[in-house]
Amino acid sequence: MKIGLTYDLRSDYLKEGYTEEETAEFDKESTIADLERALHYLGYSTERIGHVRQLTRRLADGESWDMVFNICEGLYGIGREAQVPAILDAYNIPYTFSDPLVLSLTLHKGMTKRVIRDGGIPTPDFAIIESEKELPGVNLPYPLFVKPNAEGSGRGISFNSKVRNADELSSTCRNLWNSGIHSLLIETYLTGREFTVGVLGTGEESFTVGLMEVIFRETAADKIYSYDMKTNYESFMDYTLPEKEITSKCCKLALDSWKLLGCRDGGRIDVRLDANGIPNFIEVNPLAGLNETTSDLPILARMNGFEYNFIIKTIMESAVKRIKACKKQH
């Protein structure tokens, strides 16, 4: 089986003049090498395609693949993560991970939380705002947490994201708007412990590969999982395995959320405890990073006894089984 690889290589965009933070979600060369190595080990042949524009050029030239392993994050628009899957659907080429609907929904954190809340899964109260005139309508108790509504990898999150009063809320929102980020999510700030859970598979066959707790060292001044903290995690954070009872509760919430949202093949869900110790859904990453050394999903899986090749093998098996079932239906 010939597997095409679609991805956004960070170095390509840096050469075009984009900043480090603008390309925060994009992949290093080592990530693509890790992925190729695992797929070759599993018996697949691979061919590098690249980002969405490279994909469209090659499709226009008549090229095709048995399946595409897609980790493209995209650059522009609320549907940027859905661009490659939508194009592949148009050409009837199967691919790994979630479909355009799910990837568009989950990039919009507020819409995702509405679905989660309607499904009866705990998530912090929230508001979505896009202009200063909407600020007086935010009726949530302080402290609050402010972050971009449609960004990943901690982009736009900083020490100022936790706000304690109306003046701080206004200042933080204005700074984000001035930086070019328009839609903001404002949440009730949860004071409890923070975790990230790995999920593999699709539908009723999905399962968790465990979780890890994010613990800030004393050297971390702001104790907020910001872009800077994620970039320099080895200096400021420790990842540990929590006790069995917390693990069970967080994994259940993550798996319920994964199924409710219709995510496929593999990804991560972030969870935080409220003041009563109840796990709450924070957000989902249906295109989780796959760098064997530095990405959260491989790290937490390894801490729980699952090697990198197992992750890639399970993702591929999930995608192949799903695609075969779809062909039978047609």
pLDDT, tens digit (0-9, with 9 covering 90-100), for 94-111: 999 999 999 999 999 999
Average pLDDT, the chain: 93
Nearest to 38 by CA among 3, 10, 73: 3
- Under 8 Å CB-to-CB from 8, ≥6 apart: which residues? 23, 25, 26, 27, 51, 71, 72, 73, 74, 75
pLDDT of residue 47 exceeding 60: yes
State both tokens at 3: 């597997």
pLDDT, tens digit (0-9, with 9 covering 90-100), for 298-327: 999 999 999 999 999 999 999 999 988 777
Once rounded to an integer, what is the mean pLDDT over residues 161-165? Answer: 95
The per-residue pLDDT for 265 is 98
Domains of the chain as residue ranges with CATH: 2-95 (3.40.50), 125-188 (3.30.1490.20), 194-329 (3.30.470.20)
What gap in Å lies between CA 23 and CA 12, rounded to an integer? Answer: 10
Nearest to 291 by CA among 26, 84, 15: 26
The per-residue pLDDT for 221 is 60
The per-residue pLDDT for 220 is 64
pLDDT of residue 224 exceeding 90: no
